């Protein structure tokens, strides 16, 4: 079976030797189709993400550094390109192109928007463009839920969760935790924007979340009263600097990567998704490496934990800082594509590839 057997086909090319190579047709998958596909399948998505982590750990992926497009006249905004290649039994290449424009929120539209391009490994032709803000949120939340499960083993399962930042990612993380068996006695929320904190509280109430819900005005209070912390902010530099806030040794999902000062990381057990990727772009781990001149503060990767090579001690704060790997987007995007194709709902753009004969 060739890789293109999983892809809608449009044109068959013949090599002089008689070999066949098929050009895929091109499909566009909308955000509504993506959401329909992932909704209610959180456990499946977590498994897809775990499989991608294992392939990455086994060296069966290509995941170059992300490219950051920044603007001198819009310093808070950026667009990031994440090229990647995923191996295994269902290989796929591609790239996520995701923007972050924080000023959008004041106008009532989401901060982030994204597309994902999937490429056929046999021909290099792109065969799908998917709305990817949902895919990005889903893979981030699935990664967080996977890490929460595996990193909490060997310690008392967290009963008090705190959300530091109350946007889309926080909502998805809560959904994925709830869908994979987590229940909490207390749910804390803190956000610099009172309207965001209030809106997230309303969301939690509407989902009939078990446990008492508290909006904290103080960041310190949220940290000190949470056994599981989810950082999902847009911080560009560390703003949580006091290691004593973490004296109760919580499990920290440091998804936004730039919230914690090096002093906090140095007092913790640190797990990342990929060491080289995480130690760049002035993330908190990158700043810690600069400060110490060493990577010794890192205990290992999530794949090391999955494989049993690393087991964080229960009597120490554990911080998971995932840079966000493009291979995860590919894995979830390919899952979505296959499900939409299976339902017969691919929207093919006819004649998208037009010049297919070399000499006309």
- Digit-by-digit pLDDT tens for the chain (360 residues) are 344 455 766 655 555 555 578 889 999 999 999 999 999 999 999 999 999 999 999 999 999 999 999 999 999 999 999 999 999 998 999 999 999 998 998 898 998 999 999 999 999 999 999 999 999 999 999 999 999 999 999 999 999 999 999 999 999 999 999 999 999 999 999 999 999 999 999 999 999 888 999 999 999 999 999 999 999 998 999 999 999 999 999 999 999 999 999 999 999 999 999 999 999 999 999 999 999 999 999 999 999 999 999 999 999 999 999 999 999 999 999 999 999 999 999 999 999 998 888 787
Take residue 308 and report the two structure tokens written for it: 């049993």
What separation in angstroms does the CA of 145 have from each of 127, 172, 352? 30, 10, 38
Q: What is the 3-state secondary structure (H, E, C) of the chain?
A: CCHHHHCCEEEEEECCCCCEEEEECCEEECHHHHHHHHCCCHHHHHHHHHHHHHHHHCCCEECCCCEEEEECCEEEEEEEEEEEEECCCCCEEEEEEEEECHHHHHHCCCCEEEEEEEECCCCCCEEEEEECHHHHHHHHHHHHHHHHHHHCCCCCCCCEEEEECCCHHHHHHHHHHHHCCCCCCEEEEECCCHHHHHHHHHHHHHCCCCCEEEECCCHHHHHHCCCEEEECCCCCCCCECCHHHHCCCCEEEECCCCCECHHHHHCCEEEECCHHHHCCCCCHHHHHHHHHCCCCCEEEEHHHHHCCCCCCCCCCCEEEECCCCHHHHHHHHHHHHHHHHHCCCCEECCCCCCCCCCCC
Question: What are the residues whose beta carbons fall under 8 Å from the beta carbon of 165, sequence distance 6 or more?
Answer: 190, 191, 230, 231, 232, 233, 234, 256
Q: Residue 335 CB: number of other CB atoms within 10 A? A: 24
**What's the confidence (pLDDT) of residue 21?**
80
pTM, two decimals, is 0.92
Closest residue by Cα to residue 38 from 336, 296, 345:
336
pLDDT at 1: 37
Distance, CA of 229 to CA of 100 (rounded, Å): 23
Q: State residue 3's pLDDT score.
A: 47
Residue recorded with tokens 């006819």: 350
Rg (CA), the chain: 21
In the block, residue with structure tokens 């996977």: 146
Chosen CATH of 140-321 out of 3.40.50.880, 3.60.150.10, 2.40.10.480, 3.40.50.720: 3.40.50.720
Question: Token digits for 208?
Answer: 């009939």
In Å, how far are 50, 63, 201, 308, 357 from 121, measured between CA atoms? 22, 15, 44, 32, 20
CA distance 174 to 195: 18
**Cβ(70)–Cβ(100) under 8 Å?**
no
The reported pLDDT for the residue numbered 98 is 96
Q: What is the pLDDT of residue 267?
A: 98
273-290: burial string, b at 16+ Cβ within 10 Å, e else: bbeebbbeeebbbbbbbe
**Domain ranges across the chain:** 3-135+326-348, 140-321
List phi, psi (to 5°) of 274. Answer: -155, 125
Contacts of 355 (CB under 8 A, 6+ apart): none
* CATH superfamily name and code, 3-135+326-348: ornithine cyclodeaminase, domain 1 (3.30.1780.10)
C-alpha to C-alpha distance for 112 and 98, rounded to whole angstroms: 7
């Amino acid at each position: 079976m060739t890789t293109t057997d999983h892809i809608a086909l449009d044109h068959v090319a013949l090599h002089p030797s008689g070999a066949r190579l098929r050009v895929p047709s091109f499909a566009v998958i909308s955000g509504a189709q993506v959401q329909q596909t992932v909704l209610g399948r959180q456990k499946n998505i977590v498994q897809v993400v775990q499989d991608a982590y294992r392939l990455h750990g086994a060296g069966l992926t290509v995941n170059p550094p992300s490219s950051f497009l920044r603007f001198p006249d819009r310093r808070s905004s950026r667009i990031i390109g994440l090229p990647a290649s995923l191996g295994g039994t269902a290989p796929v290449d591609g790239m996520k192109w995701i923007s972050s424009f924080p000023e959008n929120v004041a106008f009532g539209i989401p901060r982030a928007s994204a597309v994902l391009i999937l490429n056929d490994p046999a021909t290099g032709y792109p065969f799908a463009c998917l709305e990817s803000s949902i895919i990005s949120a889903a893979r981030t939340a699935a990664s967080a839920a996977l890490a929460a499960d595996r990193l909490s083993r060997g310690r008392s399962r967290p009963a008090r969760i705190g959300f530091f930042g109350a946007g889309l990612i926080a909502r998805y993380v809560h959904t994925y935790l709830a869908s994979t068996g987590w229940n909490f006695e207390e749910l804390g929320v803190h956000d610099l924007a009172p309207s965001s904190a209030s809106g997230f509280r309303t969301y939690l109430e509407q989902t009939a979340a078990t446990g008492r819900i508290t909006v904290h005005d103080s960041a310190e209070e949220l940290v000190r009263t949470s056994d599981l912390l989810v950082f999902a902010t847009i911080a560009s530099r560390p703003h949580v600097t006091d290691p004593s806030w973490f004296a109760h040794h919580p499990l920290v999902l440091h998804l936004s990567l730039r919230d914690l000062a090096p002093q906090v990381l140095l007092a913790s057990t640190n797990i990342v998704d990929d060491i080289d990727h995480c130690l760049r772009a002035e993330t908190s781990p990158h700043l810690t490496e600069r400060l110490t001149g060493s990577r010794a503060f890192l205990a290992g990767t999530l794949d090391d934990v999955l494989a049993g090579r690393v087991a964080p001690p229960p009597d120490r704060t554990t911080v998971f800082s995932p840079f966000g790997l493009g291979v995860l987007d590919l894995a979830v995007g390919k899952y979505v594509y296959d499900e939409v194709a299976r339902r017969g709902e691919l929207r093919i753009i006819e004649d998208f590839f037009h010049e297919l004969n070399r000499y006309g």
